[in-house]
Structure 1
C-alpha cells in the first residue's frame, strides 16, 4: 500500500461514492471525505466503507480542498485529490503504488493522472477529451491548491511531475438534467473567474504542461476572440479538428453542449455582469 491519503470532496454523491471509495481502498492508508453537508446517504455510505468524514461549508473547490489539507492532520508522504465520479482501474492502482514507492526519495513530487470521460453512457475517445490529464497526486508540503473560482489546479512548489501511463475512469451515474444543472453552476464560477483575472497577469509558471496549455488557450486565444464566434470556434475545434464526430451521437451532443450551451452561457453571464456593473459572488455548493 502506498504511503498515501486520498481526499474526496462530496455533496450528495450517494450514487457515486461507494464505487469511488472501493476503487482507492487498496492504495490508501487514509480516505478522507470532505463533505459539504450532504442531505442524502453520502456520509453514511462513506463511513460504512471506512472513510473518515469531515464537513465544511463549500465556497469553491480550491478552498474546500485546502481546508481538508489544513484540518485533517495528514501525515502520509503522498496526497491524492480524487473526485467522487472517478474510479481507479486495476492498472492505475498498481501504477500509483509503484510510482509512489519508486519516488519516495526523488525530486518527483507530483503525478499527472489520466482519465477517460464518459458522457451519456459512452466513453469518449476523441474531441480533445481523451485522455484528460491533471496533476492530482503530490507529496505533502511540496504543492498547493490555487484559490480560483474555476479551473483551480494543484501547483508544485518544488520538484517535478511525471505522467502516468494508465488511464482511469470518469463516470457520473446521474442524468443529463443533472449535467445541465451542474454546468449552469460551473458557468457562474467560470464567469466569476474570468472577471476576477481579466485585468491581471495570469501566472502560468509552475503549472504542469497540460494545465498550462489549457489556460494559455483559454486566456490567450479563446477569450481574445469576439464573443459571437467563440462558441462556433470551440465547437469546430472539438467536433471537427479533434474528430469528436468519431464518438457518434454522444460525441456530437457533448461538443454541442460544451460549445453552444456551456461556453455561450459563460459568455452571457460575463456580458450580464458587465452590462449591469455587478459582481458575481461565490456561488457555494451545487444544490
Structure 2
C-alpha cells in the first residue's frame, strides 16, 4: 500500500471528489495552505488526516510535506485537488512499488477542459512525478511550479489521471495564471541571463521529460513566443482536432505567454520604487529600542 497526500488551497469545489477518489488508500492526508474557504471543513468530514502549513512555494511546500508529515507507508502519491486517482492507476501503483529498482514514477495527465479531454494541444502525454519513495525524492522551485530531485532511477506509469484544470471556472483560471506569470517572468529572465539550451537533451533526451524541459528552454528564446506557441499547439500538435475546447485552450496558453513577456519587460525596464531613507531610519530606531528592551528584560 502507499499513502496519498493531497495539496490544497481554497479547493472547496474540488476537494470532496478528490478525497473520495483517493480513499482507495488506507492513508490519505490533506496538506492545506490555510485555505480561507470551506476546504478544511469539508475535508474534516472524512476519516483522513488534515494538516496545515503556511505556503511559501510549490517546491518548499512539497519538501516540507515529505519531511515533516508522517506517512503510514514508505511510498507516497502526490495528488492535486483538481486531479483524481483512478482504480486503474491505483492498481498499477501497487504493482510498481513492489520493486526497489526505482525511487519514483511519472504519470501522464489527461487535461479536462470545457467538458472535453484536450488530448492534442496539451502535448499529451505530459508527465509529472507523482509516485515516490519517501526519503529518496524532494523538490526545488522552478518558476511558478517545482522540479523534482531524485536520488535514484525513475520510471513511467502507463495509466493516466484526469486533471480538471478549469473546474472552478475560466475567471479563476485567468486569475491564477496571472499570478503564475509573475513567477514565470522571474524564472524566464534568470534563464535568459544565466541558462542555455541543452541541445543534446532536446534531440536525444532519454525521456519525454528531458526533451520537454529542453524544448521549454529553447522556447524562452524564440521571437514572437505567444504566436509561435499558438501555431505550434493548434496546428503542429493538432489542437484543431480538439474542437472548440482546443481552440480556446490554445488561445489561453498564448495569452499566458504574452503575460510572461510583458512581465519580463517590466522587470528589465521598469524602475524600482525609490527607497525611503526616513522609513529605513525609523525601522532602525525601532530595532534599537526592541533590542534594548530585550536586553533589559533579560
**TM-score, normalisation: structure 1:** 0.86
Distance 1:49 1:236 in 2: 45
Please state if 1:212 is matched with 2:206. no
Please report how far the alpha carbon of residue 203 of structure 1 lies from its aligned counterpart in structure 2 after TM superposition: 11
Deviation at 1:190, TM superposition (A): 0.9
Pair 1:142-2:136 in alignment: yes
Match among 177, 183, 192 for residue 189 of structure 1: 183
Measured on the aligned residues, the alpha-carbon RMSD in Å equals: 2.2
- Deviation string 1:123-156 (CA, Å, 9 cap, x unpaired) is 1121143232111211111111113342412221
Which residue among 114, 125, 128 is the counterpart of 1:120? 114
Structure 1 residues 199 and 92, CA gap change in structure 2 (3 angstroms): same
**TM superposition score normalised by structure 2:** 0.83
1:8-60 Cα shifts (integer Å, max 9, x gaps):
2111101111111111111x342221111112111021121122122122121
Structure 1 residue aligned with 2:228: 233
Matches within 5 A, 1:75-94: 76-94=73-91
| Cα contact 1:20–1:85 (8 A) shared by 2 | yes
Query: Where do residues 6-17 of structure 1 align in structure 2 (5 Å cutoff)?
Result: 6-17=4-15
Distance 1:10 1:208, change over 3 A: farther
Give deviations 1:219-268, integer Å, cap 9, x for gaps: 1x211222xx1111111110000000001011001001101x10110110
Match of 2:92 in 1: 95
CA contact (8 A) 1:135 1:208 kept: no
| 2:160 paired with 1:167 | yes
User: Do the aligned partners of residues 155 and 211 (structure 1) sit closer, same or farther apart at CA in structure 2, a change above 3 Å counting?
Assistant: farther
Using the alignment, how far apart are the partners of 2:208 and 2:46 within structure 1?
A: 34
Summarize the Cα distance change of 1:64–1:275 in structure 2 as closer, same or farther, 3 Å threshold. Answer: same
Counterpart of 2:260? 266
Distance 1:124 1:188, change over 3 A: same
Unaligned runs of 5+ in 1: 280-287
SS in 2 for 1:163: strand
Structure 2 equivalent of residue 275 of structure 1: 269
Does structure 1 conserve the Cα–Cα contact (< 8 Å) formed by 2:62 and 2:138? no
SS, match of residue 268 in structure 1 = helix
**Alpha-carbon offset, residue 208 of structure 1:** 8.3
Greater relative contact order (Cα 8 A, min sep 6): structure 1 or 2?
Answer: 1
Counterparts of 1:236 and 1:128, CA distance in 2:
13
2: CA distance, partners of 1:252 / 1:125 = 12
Give the 3 Å change call, closer, same or farther, for CA 80–203 of structure 1 in structure 2.
Answer: farther
Measure the CA separation in 1 of the matches of 2:206 and 2:41.
Answer: 36
Task: Give the conservation status (yes or no) of the 8 Å contact 2:58–2:145.
Answer: no
Hey, what's the Cα distance between the residues in 2 that align with 1:139 and 1:213?
24
